[in-house]
């Protein structure tokens, strides 16, 4: 047998030795599956970290912050607000209205009852604590206030009333920590710090603005009443404030050209919206009034300027210490044409 035949016979007897097969590579899915089997616990920990670091702060911090900012930025509407039954250290507050929650609060929930501290914005001194009842909302809410507000600092409210009567814008700081329950979210603990602003009014400008008040009747009382009143007048008075307020009995001293003209009492001053009918009783020096109308320094016959100075504010015989400073701060000059009332004065 030749050498070539021997080599051929050896290679044919063991074909597997002559052939080498490479193993197949695993697919991407197979490698991912193997990786997850080995490292799934790492991803679980990472997921939990994301929940703790991102999602929970949004729920427990972001939602309360959003709600607090929404309430702090809310423009409060004073329409329908009534202040009645003033006493030296308290008055009654009434308001019922629907509140629009806006697009930020689409859903149902409630704001828990809480005490709202009403503070002076400059000193932070609390002058009243207002108990806010539970407010439920479902895209909106109903505000229903009907309760007394007791004053811890009467002098503080008096300062605010003076600001309002002397054309200074005023504001109060309201703070509180209610709970907010919104849908299925956890209860959020809010921190309300809201500045409520109101525009003051210029009494001097008000009394001389056409339409501010209109004297509907003037009657001379002859003889004078036992209290000394010799004139009775009724006026339609526009309310310069955005709410209604019962002030009680107020008085004003009147003068003309530096001379004492007398005084007027308003037995029941209640400013309603949009206007009120006010009855006034006065003890006036009619001779001085007519003399000034004829020979005075007015631009025309019968035109006079009457200076007004507030002197008191009482309710049920007691001085109201937070309204009285505002009344006493009123100093104004009213320009009147006596010819409009000549038939009643003669």
Give the tens place of pLDDT for each residue, 86-121: 999 999 999 988 876 555 555 688 889 999 999 998
The pLDDT score that the predictor gives to residue 317 is: 94
End-to-end CA distance of the chain: 165
- pLDDT at position 148, please? 94
Q: What is the pLDDT of residue 125?
A: 92
Task: Identify the CA nearest to 82 among candidates 275, 271, 322.
Answer: 271
**How much is the pLDDT for 300?**
79
- Smallest CA-to-CA distance from 107 within 70, 145, 144, 136 is with 136
pLDDT at position 6 is: 47
**279-308 pLDDT, tens digit each:** 999 999 999 998 888 887 777 788 899 999
Mean pLDDT of the chain: 81
Q: How confident is the model at residue 85 (pLDDT cuts 50, 70, 90)?
A: very high
Question: Higher model confidence: residue 39 or residue 156?
Answer: 156
Low-confidence winner among 122-126, 278-282, 319-323, 341-345 (lowest mean pLDDT): 341-345
**Is residue 182 within 8 Å of residue 63, measured between CB atoms?**
yes
Q: Are 67 and 190 in contact (CB under 8 A)?
A: yes
For residue 55, the model assigns a pLDDT of: 53
Instruction: State mean pLDDT over 160-173.
Output: 82
Segment 302-328, tens digit of pLDDT: 889 999 999 999 999 999 999 999 999
Report pLDDT for 196. 86
128-139 residue pLDDT tens: 999 988 888 776
Range 4-28 average pLDDT: 55
Q: What is the pLDDT of residue 103?
A: 53
* Banded pLDDT at 69 (limits 50, 70, 90): confident
Question: How far apart (Å, rounded) are the C-alpha atoms in residues 183 and 109?
Answer: 6
What domains, with CATH codes, occur in the chain? 28-200 (2.60.40), 203-345 (2.60.40)
Q: pLDDT value at position 44?
A: 66
Cα separation, 248 vs 242, in Å, equals 18
Q: Which residue has the higher pLDDT, 207 or 317?
A: 317
* Residues 330 and 254: beta-carbon distance below 8 Å: no
Average pLDDT over residues 173-195: 85
- Dihedral of CA atoms 175, 177, 178, 184 in degrees, nearest 10, equals 130
In terms of Cβ atoms closer than 10 Å to its own Cβ (0-12, 13-18, 19+), residue 105 is: buried
The residue among 176, 180, 193 whose CA lies nearest residue 105 is 180
Neighbour count for residue 140 (Cβ, 10 Å): 12
pLDDT at site 104: 52
pLDDT category at 260 given cuts 50, 70, 90 is: very high
Q: What is residue 155's three-state secondary structure?
A: helix
Distances (CA, A) of 45 to 39, 48, 55, 58: 10, 5, 15, 20
Element (H, E) at 95: strand 90-100
The full DSSP string for 113-129 is -EEEEEE-TTT--EEEE
Average pLDDT over residues 258-265: 95
Q: What pLDDT is stored for residue 1 in this prediction?
A: 47
Q: Please tell me which residue, 235 or 54, carries the higher pLDDT value.
A: 235
């Amino acid at each position: 047998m030749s050498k070539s035949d021997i080599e051929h016979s050896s290679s044919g007897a063991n074909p597997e030795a002559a052939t080498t097969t490479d193993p197949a590579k695993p697919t991407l899915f197979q490698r991912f599956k193997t990786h997850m089997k080995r490292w799934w616990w790492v991803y679980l920990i990472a997921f939990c970290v994301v929940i703790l670091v991102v999602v929970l702060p949004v729920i427990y911090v972001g939602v309360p912050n959003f709600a607090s900012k929404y309430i702090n930025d809310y423009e409060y509407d004073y329409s329908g607000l009534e202040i009645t039954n003033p006493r030296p250290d308290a008055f009654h507050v009434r308001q019922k209205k629907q509140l629009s929650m806006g697009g930020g609060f689409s859903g149902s929930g409630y704001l828990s009852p809480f005490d709202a501290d009403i503070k002076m914005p400059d000193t932070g001194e609390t002058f009243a604590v207002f108990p806010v009842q539970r407010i439920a909302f479902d895209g909106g809410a109903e505000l229903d206030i009907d309760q007394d507000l007791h004053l811890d600092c009467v002098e503080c409210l008096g300062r605010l009333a003076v600001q309002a009567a002397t054309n200074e814008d005023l504001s109060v700081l309201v703070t509180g920590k209610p709970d907010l329950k919104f849908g299925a979210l956890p209860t959020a603990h809010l921190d309300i710090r809201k500045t409520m602003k109101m525009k003051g009014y210029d009494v001097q400008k008000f009394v001389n603005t056409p339409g501010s008040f209109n004297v509907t009747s003037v009657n001379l009382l002859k003889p004078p009443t036992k209290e000394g009143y010799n004139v009775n007048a009724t006026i339609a008075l526009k309310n310069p404030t955005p709410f209604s307020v019962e002030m009680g009995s107020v008085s004003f001293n009147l003068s003309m050209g530096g001379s004492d003209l007398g005084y007027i009492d308003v037995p029941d001053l209640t400013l309603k919206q949009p206007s009120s009918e006010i009855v006034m009783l006065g003890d006036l020096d009619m001779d001085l009034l007519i003399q000034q109308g004829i020979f005075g320094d007015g631009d025309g016959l019968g035109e006079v300027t009457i200076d007004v100075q507030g002197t008191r504010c009482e309710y049920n015989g007691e001085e109201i210490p937070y309204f009285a400073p505002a009344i006493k701060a009123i100093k104004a000059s009213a320009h009147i044409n006596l010819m409009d009332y000549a038939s009643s004065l003669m």
